[in-house]
A = this chain, B = another copy of it.
Amino acid sequence: MKLIGYFRSSAAFRVRIALNLKGIGVEQAFCHLRKGEQRKPEYAAVNPQKLVPTLILDSGEALTQSVAIMEYLEEIHPEPPLLPKDPVERARVRALALIPAADIHPIQNLRVMAYLREKFDQSEEAAFAWSRHWIETGFEAYEAMVAKDSRTGIFSHGDRPGLADLCLIPQVFNATRFKVDMSRYPTIKRIFDACMKLPAFDAAQPSKQPDAEP
């Protein structure tokens, strides 16, 4: 399999952690989002959304959308599991995962920020405030959902890292870039610290990728 990603993409970061946790080795390829490589016709042909990541299977099939890719990896390679067994618990983990994956990151990714600057003529500062607003709104809800739930353990759900953590941790990296005050989210911060002690998370972080830039 080949993973096409970009070091700073939160969505690619999620998939890198999943691959590391499950011990699945893949070839890596890179699509430089800031240089607009995702808009090249040869990339759009494999990923019509012109987003990263794309996972190219050995059959040539291209899988898109990080959450769909992680569910696929869970199905073909169930150990160690990213989801619990019980349907209600699985629903809890998926709901947590979708807070960053659907309700934070898509609202403040590169293409949205570009629209704010180019079409709405917003300053860099206003675009940063926008980003912080959606991160804080999402993190407030995530914190509320993990802080007082007895199913929260060392990680977002129990004592094994799972799908929710895979979506949360890249968003915390992103939040730090946007200078969000993480002390407001003590449970998220604690989960982040626990995750980053694990080699699977550490090795997946943006600065440790072959395409990393300062």
A residues touching B (Cβ–Cβ < 8 Å)? Answer: 48-51, 57, 59, 61, 63-65, 67-69, 71-72, 75-76, 87-88, 90-92, 94-95, 97-99, 101-103, 106-107, 112, 115-116, 119-120, 122, 126, 129-130, 133, 138, 140-142, 144-145
The answer to whether residues A65 and B120 also contact, given A50-B141, A133-B115 and a CB cut-off of 8 A, is no
Pairs across A and B, CB under 8 Å, 29 listed: A48-B140, A48-B142, A48-B144, A49-B141, A51-B103, A57-B88, A59-B88, A65-B94, A65-B98, A67-B98, A67-B102, A68-B92, A69-B91, A69-B95, A71-B91, A71-B94, A72-B87, A72-B91, A75-B90, A76-B87, A101-B102, A103-B106, A106-B106, A106-B107, A107-B107, A116-B120, A119-B126, A119-B129, A120-B126
Q: Are B126 and A95 in contact, with the CB atoms below 8 A?
A: no
